[in-house]
Every structure is written in C-alpha cells, then in structure tokens.
Amino acid sequence: MDIGNSSLVTEFILVGLTKYPEIQVPLFFLFLGIYIITVAGNLGLVTLIRLTSHLHTPMYYFLFNLSCIDLCYSSVITPKLLVNFLSKRNTISYAGCMTQLFFYCFFVNAECYVLTVMAYDRYVAICKPLLYKVTMSPQICSLMAVIVYLGAFIAAWAHTGCMLRLTFCDANTINHYMCDILPLLELSCTSTHINELVVLIIIGFDVGVPGLTVSVSYVFILSSILRISSTEGRSKAFSTCSSHIIVVSVFFGSGAFMYLHPSSVLSMNQKKVSTVFYTILVPMLNPLIYSFRNKEVKVALKRTLSRKIFF
C-alpha cells in the first residue's frame, strides 16, 4: 500500500481528548495507569495460557488470540495519546496517521471476529458436546484464526486504501485524539461518497453477521442450559459463558453507541468518550473479566504463582 499520494497535507493536528490544559497531566497519569494494567493483564493472560497445559483448549486458544489483539490494539492508540497529553502541539504525520488508521481498523475488526468465533465455540461446547473435539479440532481452530485475521486485513485495507485516494488540502485539524475514519472524512476536499459506502458496507457486515451469529448462538445455548435438570449443571454451563457475554456486551455495546447514532445526535465530546471506552478501556477490562470470573484461569494462576513462590 503506497502511503505517498497527491494530498497537499503532510501532517495533521490532533485536537486531543480535551481542550483544558489544567487536566492534561492528571489525564496522562490516569491513562498511563490504564495502559500499564492493559499490558500487564493481557501479557499475563497470554503467558498463563501458554504455560498451562490444561488451558490448551479451543476456548483458551481464542482467548489467547483475543489478549494478543487487545495488547496490540491498545498499543496502536494509547502511546500516542499519552505523548499528546504532554505536548504543546499535537501533530501526526500523514504517513503516521494512515498507518495508525490501518492498524486501528485491523485490530478492531479482528476483535469483533474473534468474539464471534468464541460465541460459536461456546455453542458447540454446550449444545453439541459429543461433537466438540471433532468440530473444534486444532486444524479447524487454526483455520478460523486465519479467516479472522484475513477478514480483518481486508476490512482495514479497504478503509485505508479508500482514505489514501482522498486529497486533503488546507484543513488538517482532526477533532479527535486519534486518526479515526469519520473525523478524517470531514477534512477531505474531494468526494467521500465511495468512502462512506465502504464504511456503510463494512460496519453493516461487522454489526450484522457477528451480531446475528452471537445472538443465535446464545439463544441455542440458553435453550440447552434451561433443559439441564440439575441446578449445579446449569450453573456450571452458564459460568463457562458468563465472561464472554460480559465482554461481548461491553465491546459491541460501546461500538454501537458510537456508530449507530445519527451524527447529529452525539456531540464530538460524547463520541470521543465512547471511543475511549472501546479503544482503551475494553482492552483493559477483557483480561480482568476473564481472570476474575473464570474458575479455570483463577486456578491456573494460583498454581503458577505457587510454583514460582516455591521455587
């Protein structure tokens, strides 16, 4: 992908999260703390799954991928935001902006698709347990992972490729803390109809297909759980899904709040807060949710820590 195009703009100015200089330093330390927790949590979960043999199952294979995505996802956005809190002039080069846009689109789409695959995994585990090992074999899991990343690459390439064809003339101030699609389209001095169509198609697909897959999967899952006679059996079956339900609700809920409102309904500040939630807070919350609400992860963590302390 050729980043050098005919655009007259060589750099963009990022307005940032807030215009009030007196809260920039407190926000820096707040988001630095969030980033440290995000990196430690996701890196810890990746390491734990890698080192614990009884977590080498399809469910934790996809959780491993989710943590890797969250780690990279947060690192695309947060470090630049932290620098901007301490800088007098928040700029990003044209090439840097397009690169950030590409990786942002790649990881947000990958997260969307991985969460969808995880819902299917829970459906097979609970509704078709006798076929689970065959349906979710290592080969099929690897194929699903390839499809996830290939789909994310296609979506990111479509958004970024269409953005590269635009010309940016005099206006170069992005009313955001990152290079997002909609704020960039507002600055273009050429037609953005193709870009808007691509956004509509990809977001429609990302909302429609995963939303339908997750919804249908959990309808069947809940139906199967309710047919279990014992209270203990129902509780155990539901506990394997509860963490995923929370993560899906937080991710898709915050994304839908951002993109499914008419542009006139939300102010730019509300859009920024919503974007902060699913680009910075969600990657921090995911490992915490899976750590505190997942019995197998807690047991594996205790065993790992006890071995480290003992040795």
End-to-end CA distance of the chain: 50
pLDDT value of residue 243 = 79
Task: State the Cα–Cα distance between residues 12 and 94, nearest whole angstrom.
Answer: 7
Alpha-carbon dihedral 301, 303, 304, 310, rounded to 10 degrees: 140
- Predicted confidence at residue 82, as pLDDT, reads 92
Query: Given this model, what pLDDT does residue 20 score?
Result: 79
**β-sheet with 11-14: strand ranges across:** 91-93, 11-14, 173-174
Q: For residue 129, give the DSSP letter.
A: G
Residues 45-97: tens digit of each pLDDT: 999 899 888 888 999 999 999 999 999 999 999 999 999 888 888 899 999 99
3-state secondary structure of 311: coil
Least confidently predicted of 167-171, 231-235, 291-295: 291-295
Q: Are 135 and 128 in contact (CB under 8 A)?
A: yes
Residue that is written with structure tokens 């215009």 in the block: 19
**Is the pLDDT at 175 greater than 90, yes or no?**
no
Q: Model confidence at 268, in pLDDT bands (50, 70, 90)? A: low
Identify the H or E element spanning 44.
helix 24-51
> What confidence score (pLDDT) does residue 4 get?
46
**What is the chain's mean pLDDT, rounded?**
85
Residue 261 CB neighbour total at 10 angstroms: 13
pLDDT at 309 (0 to 100):
53
12-55 tens-digit pLDDT:
988 888 777 888 899 999 999 999 999 999 999 999 899 888 88
| pLDDT of the residue at 135 | 92
Cα separation, 269 vs 276, in Å, equals 11
CA–CA gap between residue 96 and residue 183 (Å, rounded): 16
pLDDT at residue number 308:
59
b/e code 281-300 from CB counts within 10 Å (16+ = b): bbbbbbbebbbebbebbeeb
Alpha-carbon span 247 to 253, nearest angstrom: 10
- For residue 265, the model assigns a pLDDT of 53
Average pLDDT over residues 181-207: 88
Looking at 52-137, list the stretches that DSSP marks H as alpha helix, in order from N- to C-terminal side. 58-86, 94-127, 132-135
Q: How many Å apart are CA 40 and CA 22, to the nearest integer?
A: 29
Residue-range domain boundaries for the chain: 11-310
How does 69-91 read in b/e, with b if 16+ C-beta sit within 10 Å? Answer: bbbbbbbbbbebbbebbeeeebe
CATH of 11-310, one of 1.20.1070.10, 3.30.342.10, 3.10.20.600, 3.20.20.210: 1.20.1070.10
| pLDDT tens-digit series, residues 91-144 | 999 999 999 999 999 999 999 999 999 999 999 988 888 999 999 999 999 999
Please state the pTM of the whole predicted model. 0.88
CA–CA dist 287, 104 (Å, integer)? 20
